[in-house]
Amino acid sequence: MSSEPGPSGGRSPRRTRSGSPPAFDALPEGSPERGALLRREWLYHSHIVHWRKQAESGTLPVSTGRPGRSAESEELARLRAENKKLKADTAKLESRNEKLAGELGKTKTAPDIAGKAFALLQDISSSADSDTNSTRS
């Protein structure tokens, strides 16, 4: 049991701060030994989960005995963050592009309609002029 003498001369438990004990991962999930190990070390399953998340993200403090992040992993993390930002920007730009393409379609249709309306008005005007000329003669 991890303990050291307390101020009253008795033994007080000492909590392990170096991440999950190596034996913890070796034990099958849900086994009584695993629970006993956590109780003996004064740990909760939430501590193990928290440490695992920190280890995965590379933010587990160096004081735990794990090596710090290398320059390569720092660069990889920076590139992943930049990639995520670029993907978000790309999605925004694609959305705006679709909107503008719709507006462009409407803009291209408007002159066509105006041209047809002008041609129709010219036909009506010329037929009205010819009707007026034929009644005068």
**Per-residue pLDDT averaged across 22-39, rounded?**
70
Identity of residue 40: R
- Whether the CB-CB separation of 62 and 68 falls below 8 Å is answered with yes
pLDDT at 46: 78
pLDDT above 60 (res 16): no
- Among 9-13, 19-23, 109-113, 127-131, name the most confident range: 109-113
Question: CA-to-CA distance for 75 and 81, rounded, in angstroms?
Answer: 10
